[in-house]
Structures are given as structure tokens and as C-alpha cells.
Structure 1
């Protein structure tokens, strides 16, 4: 009898010891995968992928990455932690993205957005397509966080409800938030292609390199608090191409081509500044426009051809150093 009791005690002890050191069933992985033939009940491993971004994000650790195993439209997603969505690079990567007819594609909203936002989000090698009976609303909407990076992303058929394709609207606590866009194409947008509109005019920055925006009502718009730098980019065949709209908004253009605008190519409203260097303006209804104390500064190396549109002269010329 004593021997049986001793054996039972040892068995219970071993079981409790094992439970103490067993990995939690809900442990999140640093890298997860999605597939058109996956299932969101899966662990999102490479051999048992999930089916949607939303299904995989809950099983991916903060700071981790979700990769695509095959092409597909993997649904809309709301992001509340640092993460990378990648449909080409990484193990098992392949082309894919988001189909968001009638709804937002990607929404970024830091849980600490009202106090100390910290999340950093990267969207890489994706297509975000709002095609359908009702086009998509926001392609990407940033409400709060530390930074948003888009690399090799195509965004199209967005803007239902008069909203932007890319809306960067950091919360009042997101002072210093940054938007980085490289090799991004935005086409067929009912409203703004990219809209920088920080809450309460807090200081934020946007950096765009090799970005094309076309067939938008407004190509690029910056509100008070926003400072945008566009390099080697193309804003063509839009309604109004570039607009600094209020307060201390600033846009710096280097090596940018603006053509075929139905309204102003560049428009600086009261209190805002646009700086032009190596910028070409061609075949616009109106080239350079300012109102009130709006400023358009030229570095004296721009190309305002005879087909640039009804050109207003830059407010000032800045000496290159």
C-alpha cells in the first residue's frame, strides 16, 4: 500500500513538473504564413498556414512577420502591434495582397495611441485592390503609432466615401510619427492618393521615393503639422497634383514630374510652403498657384516648359549651395 502511494505521488509530481515547463498552447510565432488553401484554425506554420491576414495576426508575435505562400487576396486587416506583412520576401514568399471592395484594406491603430504610441508597421510586396461593385474605401489608414513603411506596394481602386487611398492621420500623441513610401504605385482613386493630416497639427513627416500617383482627384495633400519630401516621383493625370492645404504644412520636391493635372500642378495655400528642385511641370491646366501667404520656392533648376499650363511664377528663388 505504501509503495502504491509513493508511486502515485511520484506520478503527480512528474505531471505537475511537466505542466510548469510546457509551452503555452497559445504561444505566438515570430514568423507565420498564409495561403489561399490555408485555414485560420491552423497554427499558421509553413506546413499548416492560415487563410487570412486577420487569422494570422493573432498568432504572430509583436515585431514578427507574416509571409504569403502563394498568390491570393487575403482579406482586410486591423493592425494593433508592430508587424511586417510581406508577400514576396522571406521563406515561402509569393505575390499576393488584399482585396477590399467597399471596406478599408489595412488599418493601423496603436492601443496606446492616446498616450505613448510605439508600434512600427511595414507593408511590403503587396497589392491592395478595391475593385468590385463598390470600390474600396481606405487602402491604408494610419490612425496612431510610431511609423508606417510601404515598400513595393500597389494600391488601386480606392476612395469610396470620399476618403484617401493612403491616409496618414496620426493621433495628437503621435508626435514625430513617420511615413516612408518606396516604389509605391497608386492609381484610380476617387479622392486623395496620399493625405497627410495629423490630429491637432502635431509635427509628423512623410518621405516618398519613386512613388507614382495617377488618376486621383487630388494626388498628394498635406495639412498643418505635416512635412513631406518627395524624391524621383511622378504625379500625373490627377485633378490637383500637390496641395499644401493649411497651417505650417511643407512639401519638398526633388526630381518630381507633374503632368496632365486638370487643376493646379502645385498649390500652396495660406501659411504653407512648397520647395521645388529639379521638378518638371508639363501640360497642366495650371502650373504654380499660391493664395495668401503661401510660398513656392524654386532652386532655379526646374523645367517649366511652354506646355506646363498657365504658370504662376515661384514666390522666391533659393540660391543653391
Structure 2
């Protein structure tokens, strides 16, 4: 022990202890990191020495930290395993998925971790399968993003498929041209394991020109999917605008102050399967092949504040009227 201390004491006297300590600081993780189109991933990811990719910045950012974009660019996707915020507000920045069947962001984080994706243009280029895929974590927030052109089967803008209880919040975001010719679409909430609970809030979202618009599907596992769609538009999709379907997990959807219109086939709003309940209030459902529907033992409940008309078949007979409380 003394022999180990003695050289350090001599170095301290000579002033040599400072250089020994200096390299340790280089390995400290950033509370805030930066990426730039002219950056380089071996850099420390500071504002003056930014990284080139989100993946490069992620490994140099502390849990709960922030990655910002200095300028516009394609910063590629990243697998997310801890709390992080990626915020590119103010520039045209995001990811482009060019490999067939690829994805931009996958979240496999801890049970209390919170992931925020903000101000991103997430582009599938027709080749990507998923814009964002979530399996584990506490909460995922997607804010002020554009997610488009994920057309490789199945082709979802967001696939929220928790294995344990988790929350999804999507706001001020546009989903367009997602899905294949028979599946996929804007937002999918599903469960990856029995007993999982998915709480989903969709607010001020546009789902347009996808295959499906917004879908909650409890068929894969037992548990609960509780989704609220508010102040949102699902329009011009190839199949159904807003869908709840399940014969296993309890699926409950509340649609409030929203529009589902001009969807090319299927329904504006449909509840399907005995474990599904959908409630609609203060909303407009118009210009679809079928307006609303409840099939295979599902329940679709309508407050008297809705406008359901102008569809080829409004489907009012399938609706259970309910009063405001």
C-alpha cells in the first residue's frame, strides 16, 4: 500500500498529478450533446465539437440527458436503452431509413425510463418497416414530428408494443403514407406480453394517406389498452380511420373532438371483437364508405354531440347512444 502511495506523492510534488486526472474528465457523459451534418462521431459531442449521428451522441450522453441538432441533416436512427430526449426543434433534421425492413428508433429501456422524440422528420423512403418501435420503458413522448413513407411490410409509423405497463403520448405530429397494400398505417398500440398495460394519448395528430390511420389491437396478448384520441384527424386512409379490435386484451378507446373522414374503404370508426369498447363524442365522421360500426361482439357508444352523416353507409344502427354525465 505504501509503495503505491509514494510515487503519487512524488508526482503531486512535481505537479504531475494534474495530467493523470485530466483524461478522466474526457470520459464524463454529457448532460447535453449535439449533432451536426458536419460533425464526427469520435468528437465529444459538445456544441463546438458535435457528433455526426444520434447513435454517436447517445453513447456520450448521460441517462436523462438531451441530444440537440445544430443544423439540418440525416442523423440516422438509434436503439434507445435509457431515458433520453432527442430534440431537433427549429431545424429540418431526423432520419432516413433506406434498408428494406429497417427502422429508425427502437426503445428497449428500463421500466421507469422516459424517452422524448421532438421535432424530427422520420422518413421511411418506402423501405422502412417502422418509424418508432417500443417494447420496454416507462413512457414514450413523440412531439411535433413527421413520420412518413414506411411501406415495407407491415409499415407502421409508430408500433407501441409494451411488454410491461407503459405510456405513449403523441402530440402535434403528422403520419402520412405509411403502410403496405394490406397492413400498417400511422399508429398501432398492441401488447407484446400477457399482463401488459398500454396507456395511449393521441392529441392534435393528423393521420392521412396511410393504410390504417390509428389502431389499437389487443389480439396478441391479455392485458389492457386504454387509448384516447383527441383533437385529431384521420383522413384519406386506404382502410379504416380509427380502429379498436380485440378478442383478448381489454381495448377501450375514447374519441373526442376529432374527425375521421374520406377514408377510402372500411369505416371511419370501428370497434371489433368482444373485448373492445369505443366511445365517441364531439366528433365528425363523414365521407367514408362506412361511418361507424361495431362487429363481432364489440360495443361502439356515441354521445349525442357527434356528426355522423354523409357516409355511403352511416352505420347508426350499430351504435349504442349514451348521454353526457
**TM beyond 0.5:** yes
How far apart, CA to CA, are the structure 1 residues paired with 2:68 and 2:306? 42
- TM-score between both structures, scaled by the size of structure 1: 0.88
Question: Does the CA contact (< 8 Å) of 1:274 and 1:295 recur in 2?
Answer: yes
Secondary structure of the residue aligned to 1:216 is coil
Alignment partners' CA distance in 1, 2:12 and 2:117: 49
Cα distance between partner residues in 2 of 1:242 and 1:183: 17
Matched, 1:300 2:289: no
Equivalent in the alignment of 2:280 = 276
Say whether the 8 Å CA contact 1:99–1:129 is kept in structure 2: yes
Aligned to 2:39: 38
Structure 1 residue 201: Cα displacement:
5.2
Q: CA offsets per residue over residues 165-214 of structure 1, 9 Å max, x none? A: 1000011xx22x11001100000011121100112252211001100001
Please state if 1:165 is matched with 2:154.
Answer: no
Q: Which residue of 2 aligns with 1:242?
A: 242
Please, what is the CA RMSD of the aligned residues? 2.0
Corresponding residue number in structure 1 for 2:232: 233
* SS of alignment partner, residue 240 of structure 1: coil
* Kept after mapping to 1: 8 A contact 2:190/2:198: no
**d(CA) in 1 for partners of 2:293, 2:28:** 56
Q: Assess, with a 3 A threshold, how the Cα gap between structure 1 residues 74 and 8 changes in structure 2: closer, same or farther.
A: closer
Correspondence list, 1:1-321, <5 A: 10-11=10-11, 15=16, 19=20, 23-88=24-89, 94-102=91-99, 103-110=102-109, 112=110, 117-131=111-125, 134-171=126-163, 174-175=164-165, 177-190=166-179, 191-199=184-192, 200=194, 202-224=196-218, 225-238=224-237, 239-246=239-246, 247=248, 248-261=250-263, 262-271=265-274, 272-305=276-309, 307-313=310-316, 314-321=318-325
Structure 2 unmatched ranges of 5 or more: 1-5, 219-223
Asked if the contact 1:201/1:223 (under 8 Å) is kept, the reply is: no
Shift of 1:16: 5.2
TM-score with structure 2 setting the length: 0.87
- Quote the offset at 1:51 in angstroms: 0.4
User: Which range moves more in the overlay, 38-47 or 223-232?
Assistant: 223-232
Contact conserved, 2:292 with 2:319, CA < 8 A, in 1? no
Structure 1 gap ranges (5+): 1-5
**Aligned partner of residue 66 in structure 2, secondary structure:** strand
Number of paired residues?
Answer: 301
